[in-house]
Structure 1
Amino acid sequence: MIKTAAFLIGLMLGPTPASAALPVPAAPAAPAAPPLVRHISYVRDGDVYVSAGPAEKRLTTGAGYARPRWSPDGKQLAVLRDGQLWTMKADGTARRRLTTRPAAAPSWSPDGKWLAFASLSCTGGPGVYRISATTGPPEVLFPVDCRSEPLPETTSISAVSSAPASTASVAAASASLVDRLRADDAVAWSPDGKQIAFRGGECDAIYDACLSIGTISSGAERTVAAYGGGSLQNRGFAVLPAWRPDGARLAFTAYQEGETTAQNEPLHVVEYDPRTGAKRTIGTTLDREPAYLDPTHALVTARYRNGSWITLLDLTTGTRTPLHPGSQPTLQP
C-alpha cells in the first residue's frame, strides 16, 4: 500500500499517536506534507534538486550533473558535472572542481576530510582514489599494487546522468537502465571509515563483473557479488553500493541473466550482511540506487506513474511512499 509523504515526517520527527493517525489514500497525486527536518537531494533531467517535503529547490541548471552526495556535516554536496568531481554548498553556491581526471560517483569519508571516487587505475580497469575535500592531488587506494605506481593517463569513465524519460515504456526504460548502470563505478565509504565498496577489484581477474569491499589500511579485498567467469554461468552486475548508517548492511543495485529464463533477475536492490554474507532482495523489480535512512527505511529510485520517482521504502513492511520525480537519491545526515 502507498502512503502519503506524511509518513516520512513521522519517520524524521517521531511517531504519531494512534489517536492522531493520518488517513492513507491509495495513490497520492503528489506528496503533501510540511517541510522535513532532513533534506534529500536527487537528479531530474540532469540537474540537482533538494527537498524536505513537497517543496523542492533546483540547485543547478544546464544539465550534465549526476550522483549528488551529502557531506557528513550536511553543509556540502559532492556531485559529478560532465564526468568531473565537484563540490558545492548545500544551497548550490560556491561550486568548485576537485578533479582534472574523469571520475565516477563519489563518497565522503566519515570525517568529511576526503572524497573517494573511481577512475582508471594502473591496471587499465577501474580503480579507487581519494582526494582531499579542500586541496591536493588524488591518491590511489585500490588496487593496492597501484599505490606505488604513477597515476595513469586520464580517459573517459562511465557516469549516469538523468533518469529515463517519463514517456518511455517500462520495458524500454528497463533495457536502457541496464545498459547505463552496468558500468557505473560509484563507490561507498563505510561509516567506520575503514572500508570502501566498489565495482570491480581483484575479482575482475576471475569474473566478468563483480563488486568488492576493500580495507583501506591493508588494501585487502573481498568479493561481495560476482557474475560470469569461473564456475558461474550467468551474466549481470552489482553496482551503486550504499552502507547502512550503522555499517551492518551494504545495499546495491543488481541485475542477472541466468542460464535459464527462470534464473533471470531484472534490476533490483540487494541487501548484504558483511558479517555473514547473507543476502536478501528488498523492494521490488526495477528499484535501484538505494540510500539508507536508518536500519528499517531506505530511499530508492522506483518506477511510478510511468517514470522514475524517489521513493521511501519501509524495509520491514514493504510500504512504499513516492516523494518526487527523479533519481539518484542521497540523504542529508
Structure 2
Amino acid sequence: MKAIAQIIGTAALSIIGGATAALLPAGSAVAATPAGNATVVYVRSGDLFSATGATEKKIADGNYARPRFSPDGTKLAALRDGRLWVMKADGSGKRRLTTRAAAGASWSPDGVWLAFASQSCTGGPGVFRVDVKHGGAPQALFPAECRTEALPAEPEIQPADAGTLTDRLRYDDAVAWSPDGTQVAFRGGLCESTYDACLSVGAVATGRERTVAAFGGGSLQTSGFAVVPTWRADGRKLAYTAYQEGETAADDKPVHVVEFDPATGAKRDLGAAQDRELAYVNAATAIVTGTHQGGSQLFVLDLTTGKRTAFKAGSQPTVRP
C-alpha cells in the first residue's frame, strides 16, 4: 500500500517540476530549438507551459503533472491534484475524466482510451483504461486477474514524501501505451513476485507480461528502479528513467535514461547523469529533463552524438506528434 500511496502523492505534487524548477528564471533564454520546431508542453512550478521554438506560453495554472499529447496533437491529458484531466492542446476546455487517484496517463493510438495507473484489485499498483469521450468506470488492464474482479474502492490521495530526486522518482507509476496499441509499459507487474523493483510490458489482448528491467531479488544483487517509460513513434524503442545501486561502487548508476530495443533486448544509456523523463521528437532527437543549478531544465538531446543543449526551465516534457 505504501508504494501506491507514494506514487499518487508524487503525481499530485508534480514530482520534479515544482519547487526545484522555480530556482531557474521563468523566462530563461532558449539555447536550442527541437527538431522541426516541434511543440513541447512541460511543467514548471505546477503550471503547464507550451513552447514552439523560442515562443513560450503558459496554458494552465494549477497543480499539474505528467502532461501527454493525444495521438492527433489536439488534446492533452494531465494529472491535476492527483486525478486525471483532459483539455485542448491550448489549455482550454478542461474536463476531469475520473475521480479515481491516478498516475501518469498515456493515450491509446486511436485516441479513444487513456491508460493510467492506480490501486488494483490486489492492493498494489495496477493499470486501468478509461473512455476519453464518455468517461465512466475505469476498466482494469493489469494485473490481468483484475479484469474479472470488481473495481476496487478509490484510494485516497496522499501527500508526496519529501526526499531526494531519487526518492521522488522511485514510485512514479506513469505508463506508456505502444504506438501499435498492443502493449502498455508500466512500473511493477507480476515480476514483483521475484524482484524488488521492475518494469514490465504487458499485452493488452492477453494480459501476458514481459519483464524489461529488474532490480534486487532472485539472483540479482542490485537495487534500484525503472520508471516513466515512453515509446518512440515507430514502436522500435522504449526509453525509461532508471537508477541503480550495484554490488560495488563501480556498478552504481545515478538517475539516468535507458533506451531498450524490444526486438533484441539491447539497452544503452542516453544523455547525462540526472537526466530523466525522455520524450522522443523523432528517431534522432529527444527532449529530456536534466538538472541545472539545482533546478529542473529541459534539454534537447541528440540521440546519435549525445549532445545536450539547454532548452527551457521545466520538467516532464511531452512532444506534439
TM-score, reference length from structure 1: 0.84
TM-aligned CA deviation for residue 34 of structure 1: 8.6
After superposition, residues 1-333 of structure 1 pair within 5 angstroms as 30-31=29-30, 37-61=37-61, 63-135=62-134, 136-156=136-156, 176-333=164-321
Could you tell me which amino acid in structure 2 is paired with residue 287 of structure 1?
D
TM-aligned CA deviation for residue 304 of structure 1: 2.6
Equivalent position of 1:3 in the other structure: none
Could you tell me which amino acid in structure 2 is paired with residue 331 of structure 1?
V
TM-aligned CA deviation for residue 33 of structure 1: 7.5
SS at match of 2:137: coil
CA distance in 2, matches of 1:37, 1:158: 38
SS at match of 1:179: helix
SS at match of 1:106: strand
Equivalent position of 1:15 in the other structure: none
Measured against aligned partners, the alpha-carbon deviations of 1:254-287 in whole angstroms (never above 9, x if no partner) come to: 0011121111110000000101111110111000
TM-aligned CA deviation for residue 92 of structure 1: 1.0
- Going by fraction, where is strand more abundant, 1 or 2? 2
CA distance in 1, matches of 2:300, 2:228: 17
From the superposition, tell whether residues 177 and 220 of structure 1 become closer, same or farther in structure 2 (CA, over 3 Å). same
- Asked which structure has the greater CA Rg, the reply is 1
Identity of aligned residues (%): 59
Could you tell me which amino acid in structure 2 is paired with residue 70 of structure 1?
F
TM-score, reference length from structure 2: 0.87
Indicate if the aligned counterparts of 2:33 and 2:300 stay in contact, CA closer than 8 A. Answer: no
TM-aligned CA deviation for residue 159 of structure 1: 9.2
Equivalent position of 2:9 in the other structure: none
Indicate if the aligned counterparts of 1:249 and 1:274 stay in contact, CA closer than 8 A. Answer: yes
Could you tell me which amino acid in structure 1 is paired with residue 119 of structure 2?
L
Indicate if the aligned counterparts of 1:114 and 1:132 stay in contact, CA closer than 8 A. Answer: yes
CA distance in 1, matches of 2:65, 2:186: 17
Indicate if the aligned counterparts of 1:290 and 1:300 stay in contact, CA closer than 8 A. Answer: yes
CA distance in 2, matches of 1:304, 1:128: 33
